[in-house]
Structure 1
Amino acid sequence: MIKKNLLLSFIIILLVSCSSSKEGKRRTRYFDENNIEIGKSKFNQIRATSLLLDIPGDSVHHKKLTLREKRGQISDRPLLQSILEDQTKQKLDSLKPIVILYYPGKDLCNSSGSVEVLSRKFWYDTLEDGINQIAQIKPIYIYKDAEGLSKFEGILNWHKDPGGTIERLFFQYHYPCGSFVVISKNGDYISYFGEFTKDYVWNATNQMNQ
């Protein structure tokens, strides 16, 4: 009986080991933004242009490209506004766009470099001045995971994503560095994934303020 148990245990261990070995050796498959499989070299060539980002695919061995800008419409802008007002304790204008800068959590992109505090403050002050000139509003800073936000202490006031609402509506994946979304008074929106410039935010705000 003991020998049978030992034999059975050995077989199970052997099967698990073989399965793990095959899983580890499985080649990575690459897909474009339309979910069409492409070669690794073409994938890297497209990714190098920074026009698209790579995200996890349907498997741990899949990598997929995604467009950096998305346009759409949410079904209930008043509800989103109410949720944000409760979370931030500030009143939002229902006739104005909502600008959200989103921090997904610490990653290699947003934790690298050594930008001085004054330079970081100047960047966001300039960003906010531009948004104010366009729509007379201020952006809302939302985070999913607070790790790494200490560098913004004394500069920005970040708010926890209420119930994961912003992530669920606009940011399906962890896009590197951070992202933003601008929602119009009618619920139309422009979202941009990954590292962005001030001009991108200003342009989206201008379009959603029409």
Structure 2
Amino acid sequence: METNLVGLLVFITVIAVIGFLSPLSHVYYLENDEEGVFGFTWMSSFLFAIGFPIYSLCMGFFMNLASTLFSTVEKKKFKIMAIVFKVLGVKSFFLGALFLVWSFSPNVKDFDPSVYYRSLVLVSVLISISLVYFSNYVFNVNKTIKNLKASLKSMFGFVYDMPSNDLVNPLKIKEFDINKLKITNSILDQNEQ
């Protein structure tokens, strides 16, 4: 398996585990609850408050992944689905970021409530935009590498399929074939490292 594909699968698995376990993280403290953090009375209430926003952020990653996968299909209905999943992904990022920021600052009373809510929405929008760019980068790196490999394969196919007799001096065909093999082996050796 390719290294970047394994990395992508590990990333997706970690996001899935975090996303599906985060809403349940407060259960650990139900029997022996401890003092909470960030203004929450109990640790279980804090974990409950951040559980669903983390789940929403993880679902945003999956929506963006689905959008990337659907956008590679040429049919119109898949292009529409790609747009729908991209919008859902951005909304998931926004909602997750909004409630996550709120979870870390529930007792902020230094500002007028309108300033507080505007800044909460602004920070959430900025986090959502950065997460969209990050997820696009993560999911498109694999696509770019696949495109480069396909281009290299096409180039090598052209080089190997071209008739040597037409373009190379007949006295140097054997030398040409040896050099072609050396170049190919050197590229393959670099690719394995």
TM-score (norm 2): 0.25
Structure with bigger strand share is 1
User: Which has the higher relative contact order, 1 or 2, with Cα contacts under 8 A spaced 6 or more apart?
Assistant: 1
Structure with bigger helix share is 2
